[in-house]
Chain A
């Protein structure tokens, strides 16, 4: 296990991302960043501030507003010896890159009988409640998780963000990396030393015995908050973050559900045909004879994300709604 022990140093989520990129760019000259306003602007979220100063404009490239164009360019660059990290500012804009990711990047290795590789990373964002309305708020990671040939990572802490991004950059396959844009200022421990986190290894964020809450990305903090509320009424919740939706650590999820006999899956993507459905099915099949209740799913409501704050706030799971779901499943009043 290449994970280093937790140190005292704290970084924000954004700083952890930036440090991972800087370390990998120092380690490997083939790594470069490309996207809209990634250089001097350092992205609108300031995640990349300072990188162009260290690595220069040849390795931190501002592009035209052409998501399909520069993503396609990255596929070709990855096939021919470079390691592109493409920045798609808002996860909603992945729609513009779908042919390049789904029909090209994901399939090149397979269609060529294993002869060409596409070692690229697409970094993008997810998450609502930023008052950005329907075209800047979606969590569309399920789309890529659906496609063979792609890997999908979605960290929930600064520590995981750094370790998973370094793994993504070193992976010989196309990896889509989703960052919760509401989490960039979240602080957490990140050791100064070198470490990576393997894909397909879930992390138990909180141990418990009565109910398993599987949560991804933005929903991990929500699940941990719900777990604290549950503690107060005597329910011990285990919170597990799969960290990658593909590859998926099915075993850890199933074993936890077998232990607790109840499970909720919380994810900010739309519930319909989504990540929650897939994971709930994995748990239902794997832990069927140990379950005391049907596996419950909690995702975004099936509405375009509305602008008005009181409307937007009810579209995504919250500590309170997760708490209430868990309480009812555990039959506590």
Chain B
């Protein structure tokens, strides 16, 4: 695994921003815990792919973006959506198939999209959104809007040819797109080493795309790298590739409970006890006397209350009328 890399020029992150990132990570963690709860109580239909364990990636990167910058996301997309400014209540409503959801219940867990926060949509095809993100960067360049596009994908997408097609295009045309590879080690139920020949960073390097590897459990490292690359992209020096080394605490989806045939429990325990992104930041804040434990506990409690409220809102929200089934096929 690559070692986290901090450039000399990285400026320290302001304390209020660190606290905001701490809060955002708890928001994702507790949102996902609530999803798990609703799902296992059979209150939530469909599939849910939890982002627990990977919170520092979405938060560290989205905190380096402006609200009108673009992101594309994946089937494991709740974290990206929340980190980009999504409302938990409207997300829960969408996950429950309610009319008040982000997509009026038409998209569900794997397709949340929100123009107001620049979210071009989560995508249930692995690497399905790499073209969309690259196209958004193309628009930014053509229209001179200075927006950047962040393309989140898991290491499983490294197996898809379309990723290499668009990286080639993005480099040829110097598009402001940041490819963020979240390596959580598992392509569904298969360790990535069984599916990925060669070195991950050699891939972008082959196209002349600058690439860097960061500790995806350290939100400060992710954020500093993202800030640096987003700045480069805005100056017209795109694209770039950021490999975030992280870990999926839970199964591929909520129903993937018995995982020992593909990974040992000790491995999960080790990541959770030693590399938890929320604990890592919390401990660092306390040790540096930037925050007191009570203050951090308060953040968690506030988030927990807000998540409960958001879920309540969604549970009470109405389903769409069946007369809406043919709405929005065409604009």
* A binding-site residues for B, Cβ under 8 Å: 32, 58, 63-64, 66, 68-82, 84, 99-100, 103-104, 108-117, 119, 148-149, 151, 172-173
- Hey, which chain B residues are within 8 Å of A115, CB to CB? 102-103, 113-115
Q: Which chain B residues (130-146) contact chain A, with CB distance < 8 Å?
A: 130-140, 142-143
Is B219 part of the binding interface, using a Cβ–Cβ cutoff of 8 Å? no
Is B79 part of the binding interface, using a Cβ–Cβ cutoff of 8 Å? no
- Whether the Cβ atoms of A80 and B131 lie closer than 8 Å is no
Distance in Å: Cβ of A152 to nearest Cβ of chain B: 13
- Whether the Cβ atoms of B121 and A73 lie closer than 8 Å is no
Per-position contact with A for B97-113: 1 when CB-CB < 8 Å, else 0? 00001111111000101
Interface size class of B (residues with CB under 8 A): 35 or more
- Whether the Cβ atoms of B130 and A111 lie closer than 8 Å is no
- Whether the Cβ atoms of B139 and A112 lie closer than 8 Å is no
Q: Which chain B residues (59-118) contact chain A, with CB distance < 8 Å?
A: 70, 72, 101-107, 111, 113-115
- Max count, chain B CB within 10 A of own CB: residue among A73, A114, A117: A73
- Whether the Cβ atoms of B161 and A116 lie closer than 8 Å is no
Q: A112-B121, A114-B327, A114-B331 are in contact. Are A80 and B162 (CB under 8 A)?
A: no
With CB as the reference atom, state the residue of chain A lying closest to B99.
A113
| A192–B106 alpha-carbon span in the complex (Å) | 45
Q: A68-B165, A103-B125 are in contact. Are A75 and B328 (CB under 8 A)?
A: no
Q: Which chain B residues (117-174) contact chain A, with CB distance < 8 Å?
A: 120-121, 123, 125, 128-140, 142-143, 149, 161-162, 165-166, 168-169, 172
With CB as the reference atom, state the residue of chain B lying closest to A80.
B139
Within 8 Å by CB of A69, from B129, B162, B330, lies B162
Is B329 part of the binding interface, using a Cβ–Cβ cutoff of 8 Å? yes
Within 8 Å by CB of B169, from A70, A114, A172, lies A70
- Whether the Cβ atoms of A72 and B328 lie closer than 8 Å is no
With CB as the reference atom, state the residue of chain A lying closest to B130.
A72
With CB as the reference atom, state the residue of chain B lying closest to A100.
B131
Within 8 Å by CB of A113, from B70, B105, B130, lies B105
- Whether the Cβ atoms of A82 and B133 lie closer than 8 Å is no
Q: Compute the total of residue contacts between A and B using a CB distance below 8 Å.
A: 147
Within 8 Å by CB of B102, from A82, A110, A113, lies A113
With CB as the reference atom, state the residue of chain A lying closest to B114.
A115
- Hey, which chain A residues are within 8 Å of B125, CB to CB? 99, 103-104
- Hey, which chain B residues are within 8 Å of A81, CB to CB? 139, 143
- Whether the Cβ atoms of A73 and B329 lie closer than 8 Å is no
| A148–B70 alpha-carbon span in the complex (Å) | 26
Distance in Å: Cβ of B86 to nearest Cβ of chain A: 13
- Hey, which chain B residues are within 8 Å of A111, CB to CB? 103, 106-107, 111, 113, 121
* B binding-site residues for A, Cβ under 8 Å: 70, 72, 101-107, 111, 113-115, 120-121, 123, 125, 128-140, 142-143, 149, 161-162, 165-166, 168-169, 172, 327-331
- Hey, which chain B residues are within 8 Å of A108, CB to CB? 113, 121
Distance in Å: Cβ of A108 to nearest Cβ of chain B: 7
Q: A81-B143, A173-B330 are in contact. Are A99 and B128 (CB under 8 A)?
A: yes
Within 8 Å by CB of B133, from A76, A100, A172, lies A76
26 A-B pairs within 8 Å (CB atoms) are namely A58-B142, A66-B166, A68-B161, A72-B135, A73-B135, A73-B138, A75-B132, A75-B135, A76-B72, A77-B135, A77-B136, A77-B142, A79-B136, A82-B139, A104-B128, A104-B129, A108-B121, A109-B329, A109-B331, A111-B111, A112-B107, A113-B102, A113-B107, A114-B327, A116-B113, A149-B329
| A148–B102 alpha-carbon span in the complex (Å) | 21
Within 8 Å by CB of B135, from A64, A79, A117, lies A79
- Whether the Cβ atoms of B165 and A112 lie closer than 8 Å is no
Contacts A73-B134, A104-B125, A115-B102 supplied; 14 other A-B pairs, CB < 8 Å: A66-B169, A69-B169, A70-B165, A77-B139, A79-B135, A82-B138, A82-B143, A100-B162, A112-B111, A112-B113, A113-B103, A114-B327, A114-B331, A151-B330
- Whether the Cβ atoms of B328 and A114 lie closer than 8 Å is yes
| A151–B331 alpha-carbon span in the complex (Å) | 11
- Max count, chain A CB within 10 A of own CB: residue among B123, B140, B162, B331: B331
- Whether the Cβ atoms of A69 and B131 lie closer than 8 Å is yes
Q: A81-B143, A112-B103 are in contact. Are A149 and B121 (CB under 8 A)?
A: no
- Whether the Cβ atoms of B106 and A76 lie closer than 8 Å is no
- Max count, chain B CB within 10 A of own CB: residue among A64, A74, A81, A111: A111
| A79–B72 alpha-carbon span in the complex (Å) | 12
With CB as the reference atom, state the residue of chain B lying closest to A58.
B142
Within 8 Å by CB of B331, from A64, A66, A173, lies A173
